[in-house]
Amino acid sequence: MAEIAREAGVSAPTVSKVLNGRADVAPATRERVEDLLRTHGYRRRRGATQSAALLELVFHELESAWAMEVIRGVENVAREEGLSVVLSESSGRLSLGQSWVDGVLARRPIGVVLVLSSLDRAQQTQLTSRDIPFVVMDPAGDPGTDVPAVGATNWQGGLAATRHLLELGHRRIGVVAGPRRMMCSRARIDGYRAALEEAGLGFDPGLVRDGDFHHETGYTEGLDLLRVPDRPTAVFTGNDLQALGLYEAARELGLRIPEDLSVVGFDDLPLARWVGPPLTTVRQPLTEMAEVAARLVIDLARGNKPATPRVDLATSLVVRSSTAPPRTAGSGGAARGGGGLSRSGGGNPA
């Protein structure tokens, strides 16, 4: 630290202020010191300063019931460990502003759990040099192999959802997907595609719409998708909120669920059980994922290396009442149960 102070031409207490995210350092000085910390690969000695009994939880956005499941998981672990949770929102930007990092440095938490947010390299270095570990939960992009991350088996979820619809006899299966730029969303569509291919069906881009994980796009994209000639008899949606938007589109068009349209969601939020009809969906264990992420960051703070940098928890299909065999010409519908892939015909393979 003395060496960095000398090279930067400042006093040791000034370097200390920068390390602690204090506001009373000139921006140019701060930048010079940060650069030197980076080039020297400085890492604060473990235990050199006391961490506060805080765990930081940072969301991309706090807008949905989804966030609540994650908060609950982190709170569960924090309570057990006698820690308090500091909650922030990166306000819809996928990368965090600098002022947030300064706040973290000043608060000196045990560690940071980032949800769908990412840090750039400079920010990662800042946290690492202060010995503040971080874990990314359900990364939107590819956080890099050296960043500990907790996710879910999204590809398998898309596969299971689509196989379920194929087994019921559906052949024209649409998708109202989540945002394409998010990896979790892409993996779900790829799972859908893999199930179609497995069943010998082609992938029809005309049956795929992009949403943004909100109810509104489930409705607008759903309406659009259900108005195509020879509309799909089943739709797999990017998440449960989009599934509810699709419910509304179906109501508006006079289509009954599941008689006229089968719907599968993703996440299994509490509301999936409560809507009418109760939603068949792919369960993503959000609370458990958050617990694993929180435990991982606490483990890192104690100096333990994780066995593997990335953990994906299993998704599972939860069958409720929003899926049924398609009503095809001649079948009159309702030939439910035990539908093999090759049995009930119906629909044109796209």
Tokens of 272: 């999936």
| Closest CB to a second copy among residues 249, 296 | 249
Using CB under 8 A as the binding rule, whether residue 256 contacts a second copy is answered as: no
| Closest CB to a second copy among residues 96, 159 | 96
Q: Name the minimum Å distance from CB 62 to a second copy.
A: 6
Among 192, 236, 247, 266, binds a second copy (CB under 8 A): 247
Length of the chain in residues, anyone? Answer: 350
| Closest CB to a second copy among residues 80, 142 | 80
Using CB under 8 A as the binding rule, whether residue 268 contacts a second copy is answered as: no
**Rounded Cα distance, 329 and 29, in Å:** 75
For residues 22 and 14, is the Cβ–Cβ distance under 8 A?
no
| Closest CB to a second copy among residues 41, 276 | 276
Secondary structure letter of residue 146 according to DSSP: T
Using CB under 8 A as the binding rule, whether residue 276 contacts a second copy is answered as: yes
Place of tokens 């204090």: 22
Concatenate the DSSP letters of all residues of 226-287 into one string.
HTSSS--SEEEESSHHHHHHHHHHHHHTT--TTTT-EEEEEE--THHHHSSSPPEEEE--HH
Give, as ranges, the residues between 37 and 96 that touch a second copy (CB under 8 A): 52-54, 57, 62-65, 67-68, 71-72, 75, 79, 82, 84-89, 91
Among 183, 223, 253, 271, binds a second copy (CB under 8 A): 271
Give, as ranges, the residues between 106 and 145 that touch a second copy (CB under 8 A): 106-107
Using CB under 8 A as the binding rule, whether residue 21 contacts a second copy is answered as: no
Using CB under 8 A as the binding rule, whether residue 223 contacts a second copy is answered as: no
Residues in the interface with a second copy (CB under 8 A) total 39
**What is the edge-to-edge ordering of all strands in the sheet holding 234-237?**
208-210, 173-177, 234-237, 262-267, 280-283, 316-318
For residues 244 and 216, is the Cβ–Cβ distance under 8 A?
no
Among 275, 289, 292, 297, binds a second copy (CB under 8 A): 275
Q: Name the minimum Å distance from CB 302 to a second copy.
A: 19
**Rounded Cα distance, 96 and 120, in Å:** 8
Among 40, 93, 251, 343, binds a second copy (CB under 8 A): 251
| Closest CB to a second copy among residues 80, 224 | 80
281 Cβ neighbours under 8 A, 6+ residues apart? 240, 243, 264, 265, 266, 267, 268, 272, 317, 318, 320
| Closest CB to a second copy among residues 67, 189 | 67
For residues 207 and 222, is the Cβ–Cβ distance under 8 A?
no
Place of tokens 């006093």: 11
Using CB under 8 A as the binding rule, whether residue 347 contacts a second copy is answered as: no
For residues 33 and 17, is the Cβ–Cβ distance under 8 A?
no
Q: Name the minimum Å distance from CB 247 to a second copy.
A: 6
Q: Which residues bind a second copy (CB under 8 A)?
A: 52-54, 57, 62-65, 67-68, 71-72, 75, 79, 82, 84-89, 91, 99, 103, 106-107, 215, 241, 244-245, 247-248, 251, 270-271, 273-276
